[in-house]
């Protein structure tokens, strides 16, 4: 028996106009995965442990567990017949738009690669990690897995072939994350994707491309104010915010308290606000909490920074 342990961070996807393209790794929560190669060779995958905090629930069955989906695909592609055991120590609350399935998938792909000395490059490991996203999103999307694997801010280029571009975030980038404690549906991301429009006006598309470009420029110049300017999204946010009670109030409060911008984290219901100093962080945290409370929603609010990517410790 041989085991490898890996860790991968939480993340926020989209950053407003960068739907399925932008991701930022966050040092807020971490998932830990231990992959063990057993002696028997029946090609079986077992999930022996899932340690999770109260209220967190992720599926144990192989068809619906992100880590198991990743292992299954890697075993098929590399013709591996050993029995594999997966232990999952969840730090990231699943279903709240903080890259929970992505982190488990990334840590799994990272550990599995080392366990069998496969020497798969990081881009292809991101590809394997995206297999796990099918568990919660019903489809592969690469924004959370790319940043959780590589760390920092990442851009997913889809056509003509997949490519991942990484930027080191500015040192003075701070984020206030608000997690409303509302129930979320099973396969929440799939549900949150099903309500999105399939088409948009040219005006909205131009506005989003312009803002997305501004975000990239902000990361290139390491200018947090410029990043924040680009967060406005005309296509996804107007639809998804309806699933987040009190969203407009939370946003107004955060900005009045000194946040530079606020948007939905990934598919929600968490929100992220951007700050270029931690000086206002307490007021912004309080403002976000009060914004949710105005709709009788409790929330947990945190201050965090960008994170490095997957590691063994
Ligand atoms: N880009 C994905 C979505 C991220 O918004 O559906 C899910 O965390």
Ligand 1 — pocket residues by CB below 6 A?
13-14, 19-20, 97, 141, 143-144, 189, 192-193, 266-267
Ligand 1 centre to CA of 72 (Å) is 23
Q: Whose CA is nearest to atom 4 of ligand 1?
A: 266
Ligand 1 centre to CA of 189 (Å) is 7
Q: Which pLDDT score is estimated for 300?
A: 97
Structure tokens at 309: 């990517």
To test the pocket of ligand 1, the residue of 143, 148, 240 to mutate (highest count of ligand atoms within 8 Å of its CB) is 143
Same domain membership, residue 59 and residue 157: yes
Domain count, the chain: 2
- Ligand 1, residue 267: give the atom nearest the CA: 5
> What is the distance between the alpha carbons of residues 311 and 25, in angstroms, rounded to a whole number?
13
End-of-domain residue from the set 143, 167, 191: 167
Task: Tell me the residue range of the domain where 61 lies.
Answer: 2-167
> What is the distance between the alpha carbons of residues 16 and 235, in angstroms, rounded to a whole number?
9
Same domain membership, residue 102 and residue 51: yes
Q: Whose CA is nearest to atom 3 of ligand 1?
A: 267
Same domain membership, residue 195 and residue 159: no
The answer as to whether 291 is a domain residue is yes
Assign residue 95 a region: left if phi > 0, alpha if psi is -120 to 50, beta otherwise? Answer: left
To test the pocket of ligand 1, the residue of 9, 16, 17, 20 to mutate (highest count of ligand atoms within 8 Å of its CB) is 20
Ligand 1 centre to CA of 140 (Å) is 10
- Ligand 1, residue 196: give the atom nearest the CA: 6
Q: Are 48 and 8 in contact (CB under 8 A)?
A: no
The beta strands (E) that lie in the chain are given as 2-13, 22-37, 45-51, 84-89, 153-157, 163-167, 174-180, 261-264, 271-275, 299-304
> What is the distance between the alpha carbons of residues 44 and 37, in angstroms, rounded to a whole number?
10
- Ligand 1, residue 14: give the atom nearest the CA: 1
Whole-number Cα distances in Å, 93 to 29, 64, 256 = 8, 17, 28
Q: Whose CA is nearest to atom 1 of ligand 1?
A: 20
Ligand 1 centre to CA of 37 (Å) is 32
Ligand 1 centre to CA of 298 (Å) is 23
Nearest Cα residue to 209 out of 71, 58, 16, 5: 16
The CATH number for 264's domain is 3.30.70.890
Ligand 1 centre to CA of 19 (Å) is 7
The CATH number for 6's domain is 3.30.230.10
End-of-domain residue from the set 167, 201, 231: 167
Instruction: Note down pLDDT in tens along the chain; length 313 residues.
Output: 899 999 999 999 999 999 999 999 999 999 999 999 999 999 999 998 888 776 677 888 888 899 999 999 999 999 999 999 999 999 999 999 999 999 999 999 999 999 999 999 999 999 999 999 988 888 899 999 999 999 999 999 998 899 999 999 999 999 999 999 999 988 889 999 999 999 999 999 999 999 999 999 999 999 999 999 999 999 999 999 999 999 999 999 999 999 999 999 999 999 999 999 999 899 999 999 999 999 999 999 999 999 999 999 8
> What is the distance between the alpha carbons of residues 161 and 85, in angstroms, rounded to a whole number?
33
pTM above 0.85, yes or no: yes
- Ligand 1, residue 99: give the atom nearest the CA: 8
Q: Which pLDDT score is estimated for 49?
A: 84
> What is the distance between the alpha carbons of residues 106 and 115, in angstroms, rounded to a whole number?
14
Q: Which pLDDT score is estimated for 48?
A: 87
Work out whether the CA dihedral 68, 69, 72, 74 comes out positive or negative. Answer: negative
Same domain membership, residue 231 and residue 142: no
Same domain membership, residue 183 and residue 145: no
Q: Which pLDDT score is estimated for 54?
A: 65
Same domain membership, residue 160 and residue 51: yes
Same domain membership, residue 29 and residue 141: yes
End-of-domain residue from the set 115, 142, 167: 167
The answer as to whether 310 is a domain residue is no
């Amino acid at each position: 028996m041989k085991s490898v342990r890996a860790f991968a961070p939480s993340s926020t996807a989209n950053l407003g106009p960068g739907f399925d393209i932008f991701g930022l790794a966050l040092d807020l929560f971490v998932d830990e995965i231990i992959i063990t190669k057993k002696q028997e060779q029946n090609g079986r995958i077992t999930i022996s442990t899932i340690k999770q905090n109260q209220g967190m629930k992720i599926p144990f069955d192989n068809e619906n567990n992100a880590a198991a989906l990743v292992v299954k695909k890697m075993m098929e592609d590399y013709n591996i017949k050993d029995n594999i055991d997966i232990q999952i120590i969840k730090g990231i609350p699943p279903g709240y738009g903080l890259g929970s399935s992505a982190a488990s998938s990334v840590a799994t792909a990272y550990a599995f690669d080392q366990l069998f000395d496969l020497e798969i490059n990081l881009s292809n490991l991101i590809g394997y990690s995206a297999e796990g996203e099918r568990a919660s999103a019903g489809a592969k999307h690469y924004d959370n897995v790319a940043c959780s694997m590589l760390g920092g801010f990442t851009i997913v280029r889809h056509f003509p072939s997949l490519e991942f571009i990484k930027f080191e975030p500015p040192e003075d980038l701070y984020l206030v994350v608000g997690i409303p404690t509302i129930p979320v549906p099973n396969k929440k991301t799939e549900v949150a994707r099903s309500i999105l429009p399939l088409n948009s006006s040219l005006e909205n598309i131009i506005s989003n491309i312009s803002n997305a470009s501004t975000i990239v420029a902000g990361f290139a110049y390491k200018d947090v104010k410029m990043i924040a300017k680009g967060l406005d999204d005309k296509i996804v946010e107007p639809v998804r915010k309806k699933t987040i009670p009190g969203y407009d109030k939370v946003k107004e409060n955060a900005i009045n308290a000194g946040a530079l911008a606020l948007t939905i984290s990934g598919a929600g219901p968490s929100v992220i606000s951007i700050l270029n100093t931690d000086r206002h962080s307490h007021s912004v945290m309080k403002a976000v909490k009060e914004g949710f409370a105005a709709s009788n929603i409790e929330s947990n609010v945190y201050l965090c920074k960008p994170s490095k990517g997957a590691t063994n410790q």
